[in-house]
């Protein structure tokens, strides 16, 4: 067997070609490959130790790059744009703590990124942007407590993420990661939560998106009304929402209606009166009545005349019984409509009135010779009751006697002097009352089947109102103060107590009312000495 040209001459040619190619390679290296100081380089990889910054002079065809014990503080944006062919990048035992936006920009071929045993505490939400080919990401053994939402967005090739050895706080900020884990094909190594207390020591991998309670709520200032008011009542009439205020100084009941286009509350009508303290709406058989209580000049009942589009006075209330009205409640028992006026004069008497189809007549006078400040209608064990608060004795509980069709005095609330008002609310079938005291501690009590028992006390200073407010599944109690900020408490179902949630600045608050319109919820706060305020109840998702 023989090859043409074989012999000494042939070998020489081959050797010469080999030598030439080596020379060419060397020449390329000399022209393009300057291994940066502190790094050791071979043709396609480089290892840098103790460098102060990320060098930019690697060969363009380097495919793997490692940094060990480097001195830089962060990986800045675009650090590797000069090495677009990198497939593996490793940082270990470095001291940097920050990865900036677009740190790995241009690395469209990068498949492995190990950032381990550093001190990373903060990663930009766009740190990994553009890493389309990345398969394996390790951020193990750093100081991470959280990861910004959607930091892995667009990294569709990921199959493995390693977050071991960090101090992950599994709170709402990390809820997205739990959701992501349930959707992604990538696997995550086991991560133990360092907090918050309810998740401490648990595996993040075991948590479910609904393990996170991330919706918080707030009353946000929405509209200021340029008048003082002493009471506020929201009502629905003919499928529209209205609010009526008693304006004591102007001497009017002023009505607002919701403007669905302008998204504000605008003036609807007014009823002129004097020294108005309560304007109580009552809808009976699609007719709107307003009971207007005045400190002087007696109290009156108005009816909305739909054809004339105005309120017409239909009745005066017996001035011998009602001398100094302070509060009005309306209620229905067995299909019959009633209202009750609490009278705070010594000679007057808290009186129940009943609708007889034509007008209202006094049905029963309760509690003579006491100065009642407040009356509350509520059902206790499905039976109608009234609770009367007065400045001279403990709150008194009356029970409706069905055969007599009258309220009978039943009991009082023990050890509770100086209660200005009592308002009730329910949480999951349990009945609670809020007791307002001007100086001293306001209370929340729970009905235990036989009596009201104390649940919680609230220091109150100058409080004329401690009112429960329900918005959907949220239960609040708002404690007004004439001397300091108004405190909003929110019911904590787990603790079975109220916890402070927000402070509102209202001058001399006197009452609150909630209106739901167009899927929005508003809280009206009457102010006796300042501007009446409207707040919107808003929800905030802490995981966003
Ligand atoms: C997971 O893998 C399946 C099958 O390869 C693929 O169809 C799907 O799009 C992947 N899901 C994600 C979120 O990447
Ligand atoms: C209702 O009143 C009548 C007459 O005063 C009394 O005999 C009866 O016991 C009362 N009913 C209840 C449930 O208190």
Closest CA to 452 of 480, 488, 477, 424: 424
Report the 10 Å Cβ neighbour count for 167: 14
Q: Beta strand pairing status for 122-123 and 98-99?
A: parallel
pLDDT at 2 > cutoff 60: no
Taking the CA of residue 403 as reference, the ligand 2 atom at the shortest distance is 1
Mean of pLDDT values over 61-79:
91
Residue 524 CA to ligand 2 center (angstroms) comes to 41
Among protein residues, the one with the nearest Cα to ligand 1's atom 8 is: 185
DSSP structural state of residue 21:
H
Taking the CA of residue 401 as reference, the ligand 2 atom at the shortest distance is 1
Mean pLDDT of the chain: 90
Report residue 169 CA to chain centroid gap.
20
Which pLDDT does position 367 carry in this prediction?
A: 75
- Ligand found nearest the CA of 184: 1
- Which CATH number applies to 32-215: 3.30.830.10, 3.40.50.2300, 3.40.250.10, 3.80.10.10? 3.80.10.10
- Ligand found nearest the CA of 182: 1
What percentage of the chain has pLDDT greater than the value 90? 78
pLDDT tens for 453-488 read 999 999 998 999 999 999 999 999 999 999 999 999
Query: Domain residues of the chain, as ranges?
Result: 32-215, 413-513
Residue 405 CA to ligand 2 center (angstroms) comes to 10
What percentage of the chain has pLDDT greater than the value 70? 94
Among protein residues, the one with the nearest Cα to ligand 2's atom 9 is: 401
Mean of pLDDT values over 328-354:
95
Report the 10 Å Cβ neighbour count for 420: 21
Which pLDDT does position 32 carry in this prediction?
A: 52
| 443 burial type by CB count under 10 A (0-12 exposed, 13-18 middle, 19+ buried) | buried
Closest CA to 47 of 74, 76, 68: 68
The pLDDT-based confidence of 288 (bands split at 50, 70, 90) is very high
Residue 183 CA to ligand 1 center (angstroms) comes to 9
Taking the CA of residue 156 as reference, the ligand 1 atom at the shortest distance is 14
The mean-pLDDT minimum among 8-17, 21-30, 175-184 falls in 8-17
Ligand 1 binding pocket, CB closer than 6 Å: 156, 183-185
Residue 409 CA to ligand 2 center (angstroms) comes to 11
Could you tell me if 55 and 36 are in contact, meaning their C-beta atoms sit under 8 angstroms apart? yes
Which pLDDT does position 112 carry in this prediction?
A: 97
Taking the CA of residue 408 as reference, the ligand 2 atom at the shortest distance is 14
> How far is the C-alpha of 427 from the C-alpha of 430, rounded, in Å?
5
> How far is the C-alpha of 400 from the C-alpha of 364, rounded, in Å?
11
List own/partner pairs for 4-13 with CB under 8 A and 24 or more apart. Answer: none
Ligand 2 binding pocket, CB closer than 6 Å: 401, 403-404, 408
> How far is the C-alpha of 377 from the C-alpha of 356, rounded, in Å?
20
Of 384, 398, 404, 411, best ligand 2 pocket probe by most atoms within 8 Å of the beta carbon: 404
pLDDT tens for 219-275 read 999 999 999 999 999 999 999 999 999 999 999 999 999 999 999 999 999 999 889
Mean of pLDDT values over 497-525:
96
Residue 134 CA to ligand 1 center (angstroms) comes to 15
DSSP structural state of residue 478:
E
Closest CA to 250 of 489, 532, 533: 532
- Ligand found nearest the CA of 404: 2
Which pLDDT does position 18 carry in this prediction?
A: 42
Query: DSSP states of 95-160 as a string?
Result: ---EE-TTTTTT-TT--EEEEESS---EE-TTTTTT-TT--EEE--SS--S---TTTTTT-TT--E
Among protein residues, the one with the nearest Cα to ligand 1's atom 5 is: 185
Which pLDDT does position 33 carry in this prediction?
A: 60
Using alpha carbons, list the distances in angstroms from residue 410 to 375, 401, 450, 475, 523: 15, 10, 12, 29, 35
φ, ψ for residue 31, nearest 5 deg? -75, -40
């Amino acid at each position: 067997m023989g090859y043409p040209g074989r012999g000494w001459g042939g070998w020489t040619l081959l050797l010469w070609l080999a030598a030439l190619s080596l020379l060419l390679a060397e020449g390329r290296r000399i022209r393009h490959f300057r291994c940066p100081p502190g790094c050791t380089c071979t043709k396609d990889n480089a290892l840098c130790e103790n460098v102060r910054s990320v060098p930019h002079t690697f060969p363009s065809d380097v495919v793997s790059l490692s940094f060990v014990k480097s001195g830089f503080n962060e990986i800045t944006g675009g650090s590797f744009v000069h090495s677009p062919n990198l497939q593996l990048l490793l940082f270990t035992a470095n001291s940097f703590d920050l990865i900036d936006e677009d740190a790995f920009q241009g690395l469209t071929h990068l498949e492995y990124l190990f950032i381990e045993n550093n001190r990373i505490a903060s990663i930009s939400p766009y740190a990994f942007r553009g890493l389309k080919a990345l398969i394996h990401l390790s951020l193990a053994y750093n100081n991470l407590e959280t990861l910004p939402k959607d930091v892995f967005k667009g990294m569709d090739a990921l199959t493995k993420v390693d977050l071991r050895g960090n101090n992950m706080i599994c709170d709402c900020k990390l809820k997205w990661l739990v959701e992501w884990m349930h959707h992604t094909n990538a696997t995550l190594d086991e991560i133990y939560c360092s907090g918050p207390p309810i998740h401490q020591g648990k595996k993040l991998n075991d948590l479910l998106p609904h393990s996170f309670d991330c919706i918080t709520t707030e009353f946000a200032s929405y509209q200021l009304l340029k008048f003082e008011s002493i009471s506020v009542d929201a009502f629905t009439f003919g499928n529209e929402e209205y609010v009526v205020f008693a304006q004591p100084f102007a001497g009017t009941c002023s009505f607002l209606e919701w403007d669905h286009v302008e998204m504000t509350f605008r003036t609807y009508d007014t009823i002129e009166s004097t020294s108005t303290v309560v304007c109580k709406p009552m809808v009976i058989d699609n007719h709107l009545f307003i009971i207007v209580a005045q400190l002087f000049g007696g109290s009156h009942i108005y009816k909305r005349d739909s054809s004339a589009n105005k309120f017409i006075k239909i009745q005066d209330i017996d001035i011998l019984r009602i001398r100094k009205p302070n509060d009005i409640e309306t209620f229905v028992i067995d299909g019959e409509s009633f209202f009750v006026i609490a009278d705070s004069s010594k000679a007057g008497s808290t009186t129940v009135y009943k609708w007889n189809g034509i007008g209202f007549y006094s049905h029963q006078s309760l509690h003579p010779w006491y100065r009642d400040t407040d009356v509350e209608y509520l059902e206790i064990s499905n039976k109608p009751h009234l609770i009367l608060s007065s400045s001279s004795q403990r709150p008194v509980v009356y029970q409706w006697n069905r055969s007599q069709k009258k309220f009978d005095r039943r009991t009082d609330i023990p050890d509770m002097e100086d209660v200005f008002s009592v308002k009730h609310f329910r949480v999951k079938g349990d009945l609670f009352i809020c007791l307002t005291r001007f100086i001293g501690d306001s209370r929340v009590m729970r009905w235990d089947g036989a009596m009201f028992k104390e649940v919680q006390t609230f220091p109150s200073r100058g409080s004329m109102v401690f009112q429960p407010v329900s918005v959907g599944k949220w239960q609040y109690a708002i404690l007004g103060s004439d001397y300091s900020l108004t405190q909003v408490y929110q019911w904590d179902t787990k603790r079975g107590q109220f916890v402070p949630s927000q402070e509102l600045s209202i001058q001399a608050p006197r009452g609150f009312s909630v209106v739901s319109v167009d899927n929005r919820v508003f809280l009206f706060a009457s102010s006796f000495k300042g501007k009446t305020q409207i707040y919107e109840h808003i929800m905030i998702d802490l995981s966003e």
